[in-house]
């Protein structure tokens, strides 16, 4: 799974994935098995540093955990340099 962007507040987390990779669904299933509440939604076509991409959002809430600071690590895409 390759995440394009992650914003983790501690009480919630949001991650963006390229829709074509189907990684958002895989990540949500992984997190649900661990007791987190995870929902996916389509963000549509977005302009990113990597060009115009269709993105999916994973919204993560603590579920049975105290927060989202201890989420399993996910591979992050390096932002291109200009």
Residue 78: pLDDT band (50, 70, 90) is confident
Domain limits of the chain?
2-66
DSSP string, 4-60: SEEEE-SS-EEEEEEGGGTHHHHHHHHHHHTT-EEEEEEEEEEEETTEEEEEEEEEE
Average pLDDT over residues 1-18: 96
pLDDT in tens, 24-45: 999 999 999 999 999 999 999 9
């Amino acid at each position: 799974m390759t995440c394009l962007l992650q914003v983790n507040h501690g009480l919630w987390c949001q991650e963006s994935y390229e829709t074509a990779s189907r990684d958002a669904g895989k990540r949500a299933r992984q997190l649900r098995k661990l007791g987190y509440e995870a929902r996916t939604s389509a963000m549509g076509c977005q302009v990113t540093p990597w060009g115009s991409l269709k993105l999916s959002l994973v919204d993560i809430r603590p579920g049975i955990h105290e927060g989202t600071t201890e989420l399993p690590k996910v591979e992050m895409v390096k932002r291109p340099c200009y």
